[in-house]
Structure 1
Amino acid sequence: MTIRKKGINQKSGVLPERVRVQFQMLQDGLNIQFDNKNLLYQAFTHSSYVNEHRRKQFTDNERLEFLGDAVLELSVSKYLFEKFPQMSEGELTKLRASIVCEPSLVIFANELNFGQYVLLGKGEELTGGRERPALLADVFESFVGALYLDQGLDIVVAFLERIVFPKVEVGAFSHVIDFKSQLQEMVQQSNNGILNYEIVDEKGPAHNRTFVSRVLLNDNELGIGHGKSKKEAEQRAAQCAMSILKKQGQEGD
């Protein structure tokens, strides 16, 4: 069976009804309905499944993975470019790499329970392929590629705004972002004064200490941050301060 959509020739075997029902449940849960269901099925089809069903003309997800990788990098790059205007090219590159690397993609895939939908060959299933990090990362990229082909870049970005970008907002990747340097640059641009950081509290036992830092602008407290180290606490305080300054700037416009 050959299905033509948006210039794509997609060969697919006929999946069992129970499998198609599972994929419908996945779409319902994501609030995304594919026009071309075969693209969705292909995104979750591992090469081992294709090898065991050669007569049914299934197509694996490797090409969609290739496309999804590029779409993901573009979407994340645009988001970071707009989100962090103070960041240098090197800092943006480092942050993007931490977001689209395999461990991060595995986290995204697991939160969506993508592993349970992957179509695997029996051998791959028996050896724990459904939980293999590389496989899960590939499936996430394949899904992004399939979604892009089916519904376009805006829908991909909307999907990432729900799954990926909020983690950046709450500081999940703050270990690769130098918020202190960004805050310093922001303050210098507006000539607002001098920044100072103070550790104001330490909590917990020695092996699991939490530090509390505050950042002062001209002796006025601007932000507070918590962290497992003094450095992390200061970075979180700077991140908080940046948010406050941006909000004040928007209110002043």
Structure 2
Amino acid sequence: MNRLRKIFTKSRSPEDGIFFDAMQTILGFAPKNLDHYKKAFTHRSSSRVDPEGNIINYERLEFLGDAMLSSVIAAYLFREAPRGDEGYLTKMRSKIVSREHLNELGKDLNLIRFIESKVPVQHFGENIHGNIFESLIGAIYLDRTYIYCEKFIQKRVIIPYVDISRLEGKVISYKSLVIEWCQKEKKIFHYDIFEDNAIDGQRLFGVKLSIDGKVIAKARATSKKKAEEKASQRAYFAFQEKMDKK
């Protein structure tokens, strides 16, 4: 048992001891100030405030963690891709820190189990996983400074998931690809909603993508944005050979 763990055993509740052990396992090092990590998992619905009346939740830490993650990944890409220009580096960073990828990282660590909230977990949207992953990084920065953020990101993001050659071929937005191709080829495109229904209490949007007056793809999803992305993906596969030559 390390020195910090002994201190927590003597001075904190059994629940804090369990939380300390869980954080140490996830982080790969011992927390110093456990309160930062507790805040990283506090949802706004908890309605907590500090003695000065400031609201306590993970959102400010999420902002800080997003900046730390972006910084560490930018420095990594700068070192590992010496021939990449600014546009290339920006695209590669976007692929690594995409909301989809951050959600996967949060799920892999099962961070949702630590959430303090008055809202049932099943009512959270998908992005909660990525949000608290970023807030955890923010807590690490406050507790252990930048160098430990770097260690954590290296261990949990870069080593297991970042392969530059594979990332170069990864598509993070089919809609962006479709729009870029249409603009280059001087084609007229439209995304139109053809359906907006509630089925079994869940709202569904139907979107069709037309190019040069012809409907190319249709898709349904729980948001207009998701439906547009799905329709764009189908359009991409229909025109993949042409788009890949852009």
Please state which band the TM-score falls in when normalised by the shorter chain. 0.5 to 0.7
Deviation at 1:169, TM superposition (A): 3.0
Q: Which residue of 1 aligns with 2:81?
A: 84
2:92 equivalent to 1:98:
no
Deviations 1:182-214 (A, max 9, x none): xxxxxxxxxxxxxxxxxxxxxxxxxxxxxxxxx
5 Å matches for 1:38-57? 38-49=35-46, 51=47
Deviation at 1:119, TM superposition (A): 1.1
Deviations 1:16-54 (A, max 9, x none): 9464244223223122221111101001111112x2x56
Opposite residue 136 of structure 1, the aligned amino acid is H
Structure 1 vs Structure 2 CA RMSD: 2.6
Contact 1:73 1:96 in 2 (8 A): yes
Opposite residue 145 of structure 2, the aligned amino acid is G
Deviations 1:95-127 (A, max 9, x none): 111111211111111111111111111xx2164
Q: Which residue of 1 aligns with 2:167?
A: 173
Contact 1:27 1:33 in 2 (8 A): yes
2:57 equivalent to 1:60:
yes
Q: Which residue of 1 aligns with 2:22?
A: 26
2:123 equivalent to 1:128:
yes
Distance 1:20 1:78, change over 3 A: same
Q: Which residue of 2 aligns with 1:8?
A: none
Contact 1:42 1:61 in 2 (8 A): yes
Deviation at 1:153, TM superposition (A): 1.0
Correspondent of 2:145 among 146, 149, 152: 152
SS in structure 1 at match of 2:16: helix
Q: Which residue of 2 aligns with 1:163?
A: 156
Opposite residue 161 of structure 1, the aligned amino acid is Q
Stretches of structure 2 that go unaligned for 5 or more consecutive residues are 1-11, 172-239, 241-246
Distance 1:24 1:169, change over 3 A: same
Identity of aligned residues (%): 27
Contact 1:105 1:140 in 2 (8 A): yes
The CA distance in 2 between the partners of 1:171 and 1:101, in whole Å, is 17
Deviation at 1:86, TM superposition (A): 1.5
Deviation at 1:136, TM superposition (A): 1.2
Distance 1:39 1:172, change over 3 A: farther
Q: Which residue of 2 aligns with 1:72?
A: 69
Contact 1:39 1:150 in 2 (8 A): yes
Contact 2:49 2:56 in 1 (8 A): no
Q: Which residue of 2 aligns with 1:142?
A: 135
The CA distance in 2 between the partners of 1:159 and 1:54, in whole Å, is 29
Length-normalised TM-score, structure 1? 0.56
Corresponding residue pairs, total: 157
